[in-house]
Amino acid sequence: MNKLRILTISMVAAGSLFAGDALIDAAKNAGLKPIPFDHKAQMKLVKEFQKGVTPAKAELGRKLYFEPRLSKSGLISCNTCHNLGMGGADGVSAAIGHQWTANPHHLNSPTVYNSVFNTTQFWDGRSPHLGDQAKGPMQAMPEMAITPKMAEERISSIPEYVAEFKKAFPQDKNPVTFENIADAIASFEAILVTPSKFDKFLAGNANALNKDEKEGLKLFIDKGCTTCHTGYNVGGGSKQKFPLMGEYKYANIGDFKGDKDGMVKVPTLRNITQTAPYMHNGAIWSLEEAVKTMGELQLGAKLTDAEIAKIVTFLKTLEGKKPSIEYPMLPSSTAKTPKPDAK
Amino acid sequence: MNKLRILTISMVAAGSLFAGDALIDAAKNAGLKPIPFDHKAQMKLVKEFQKGVTPAKAELGRKLYFEPRLSKSGLISCNTCHNLGMGGADGVSAAIGHQWTANPHHLNSPTVYNSVFNTTQFWDGRSPHLGDQAKGPMQAMPEMAITPKMAEERISSIPEYVAEFKKAFPQDKNPVTFENIADAIASFEAILVTPSKFDKFLAGNANALNKDEKEGLKLFIDKGCTTCHTGYNVGGGSKQKFPLMGEYKYANIGDFKGDKDGMVKVPTLRNITQTAPYMHNGAIWSLEEAVKTMGELQLGAKLTDAEIAKIVTFLKTLEGKKPSIEYPMLPSSTAKTPKPDAK
């Protein structure tokens, strides 16, 4: 009798959640925030995270993002490891850069999509925003391996670029600086946001998710995933200890142990279906295994296969529409352009 | 008196050439042919060179052209060495591919733009058309280093690709074959044609080139450059001995000596201003030096600096408008997709 009553109450409660509005409230209460579809509202939000984005900077940044001459070798661009056609990542375990060198800590390239919403950049969270972040990989030896001076010399030697920097940074006397190169790239990256049907749901359309997706979201909240994977980017807003309990099965791959306090950036889960392999060291190829692992190590929860499947069904709703990007035609080098150097 | 008469006659002759129509005739007589601007006429011409191009194949080919999973490592696509934003080439002396290996013969990547018009592909001209050519770099160890079997397995494991192959090759029972992968890529490459103001001139608009450009074209014909650099692609239609006379200053860079008879493909000169460095071994970075060298080695002509400048002025008119390319969103890998392998 008692058992039946409890069951009935649970079903009613679940029913009201799946009806929609209560689940929207629960998601909001868990800190999840919608990316607006409306362009104007979207740009307003983007500018809260990346100051000073302008169309001129973003347009220049589109070229620089695909610009291999910003690498020492002339062969690697931002898009090499953060491929806009591959969910904004590279699909390999550890990034490979200059001279085919793998990331020395065996770190996996995170997606560039929606990265503007991250208040922690890099796996150890050492950078607070994109404008700062972009300077890292350009200089890193196993990535693009260029010096700020060489980057400035390459770009300065190309008149079309100089003219475009003047337009994008009208207040600067000598606008072609490494700082502005990074700022333009960050401005382009900032507009790479991908609202999905989850955002329609969160913004109030209770029918935007189907029953299975709602069940997945409910589990995602109830199990505690939203403790860390929350905010606009369903992650990206904090660092956490990893693993919090137990032992990470692939801890032997690479030597990354987090920041000085052992804290690791919480990555976004947007477009997660498109950015395998997973974890900081790209050791897990299946999203199901990644969910299972995170449940065990961070929540102390032994998720059943059915629960994992439901959560993955929800995660699929975070696959957003990518902005249409015209592949940029880059201005030609001149006699003054420092030569590429693959060594 | 005699001298004056000759001078007068020369000036009259030159005058009539620069007037336009006579120079158009001279260019046509030298075998130069215009690429049509009109889309329908352009497609008709393209299909004469690359059989069976369809919109469905070209659209699939756009994805495959940018598809790094067609390389063993998952990091290199056709666009890596034939970068559509860089004049269709890579801007380095010798191509660098799998495991950062330079081309073993120190060969320079040719532009993909207008390559459909080449009846000789590769520097030794061993391939007659794009559909055949595309199979080479995918398999070559220092390029994309994939086996046909692995390429087929990667693509077959992705349902969105399988559906698109069925659409592009409706007559095939099992459309995901290495042959069809190459055919789709070639179909996309085939539409990458770039008519320029030179084509407007050649098609009858005598005012499309200015006086300096016409002087350059006249020299280009008179000095004999059109002996080899002719046809739709201002080259690409024959192989020639190189050097024909004298000694190539940079012969020590790489070991390429042409085909078994010492013959070398005549490259296109379209968009040549955007595809430095020059020559089969990418040893010359200045277009002026390249023109000078070719004059000496192939025509036995010691061109003056003024003549070289004029020819370069003409060559600039071959810089054509590139088709607008939307950067493709590639379908995600699945659990069945063979993993990338950087080794």
pLDDT in tens, A166-217: 999 999 999 999 999 999 999 999 999 999 999 999 999 999 999 999 999 9
Q: What is the mean pLDDT of each run of 10 residues along chain B (343 residues)?
A: 47 51 96 98 97 97 98 98 98 96 96 96 91 93 96 98 98 98 98 98 97 98 98 96 96 96 96 98 98 98 98 98 98 97 96
Give the CATH architecture of domain A18-35+194-316: Orthogonal Bundle (1.10)
B29 C-beta neighbours (distance < 10 Å), count = 10
Mean per-residue pLDDT over chain A, rounded = 94
pLDDT in tens, A253-278: 999 999 999 999 999 999 999 999 99
Domain coordinates of chain A in residue numbers? 18-35+194-316, 39-190
Spatial CA neighbour of A247 closest among A299, A302, A298, A297: A297
pLDDT in tens, A88-133: 999 999 999 999 999 999 999 999 999 999 998 999 999 888 989 9
Q: What's the confidence (pLDDT) of residue A300?
A: 96
**Shortest alpha-carbon distance between residue A314 and chain B (Å):** 17
Taking each helix axis as running N to C, give the angle between helix A159-168 and helix A55-65, from 0 to 180 degrees, rounded to the nearest 10. 150
pLDDT in tens, A5-18: 444 444 444 444 45
Q: What's the confidence (pLDDT) of residue B128?
A: 87
Q: Is B335's CB within 8 Å of A92's CB?
A: no
Q: Which two tokens stand for residue A308?
A: 């994992």
Q: Where are the alpha helices (DSSP H) in A157-304?
A: 159-168, 178-190, 197-202, 211-222, 287-294
Q: What's the confidence (pLDDT) of residue B15?
A: 46
Whether the CB of A312 is below 8 Å from some CB of chain B: the reply is no
- Of the residues A72, A160, A289, A329, the best mutation for testing chain B's interface (the one with the most B CB atoms within 10 Å of its CB) is A329
Q: What's the confidence (pLDDT) of residue B18?
A: 55
Domains B23-38+194-316 and B39-190 share a fold: yes
What's the CATH code, domain A39-190?
Answer: 1.10.760.10
Decide which of 1.10.760.10, 1.10.10.10, 3.40.50.2000, 3.40.50.300 is the CATH code for B23-38+194-316: 1.10.760.10
Q: What's the confidence (pLDDT) of residue B19?
A: 60
Tell me the ipTM for this assembly.
Answer: 0.93
Taking each helix axis as running N to C, give the angle between helix B178-190 and helix B39-49, from 0 to 180 degrees, rounded to the nearest 10. 140
Catalytic pick from B143, B164, B213, B296?
A: B143
Query: Is the entire prediction scored with pTM above 0.90?
Result: yes
Q: What's the confidence (pLDDT) of residue A128?
A: 87
- Of the residues A63, A100, A108, the best mutation for testing chain B's interface (the one with the most B CB atoms within 10 Å of its CB) is A100
Cα→Cα distances A309→A206, A287, A290, A292, Å: 21, 10, 12, 10
Q: Is B83's CB within 8 Å of A92's CB?
A: no
B143 is catalytic: yes
Q: Chain A partners of B327 at a C-beta cutoff of 8 Å?
A: 84-85, 325-327
Q: Which residue do the tokens 């974890």 mark? A: A279
Q: A92: nearest CA in chain B?
A: B340
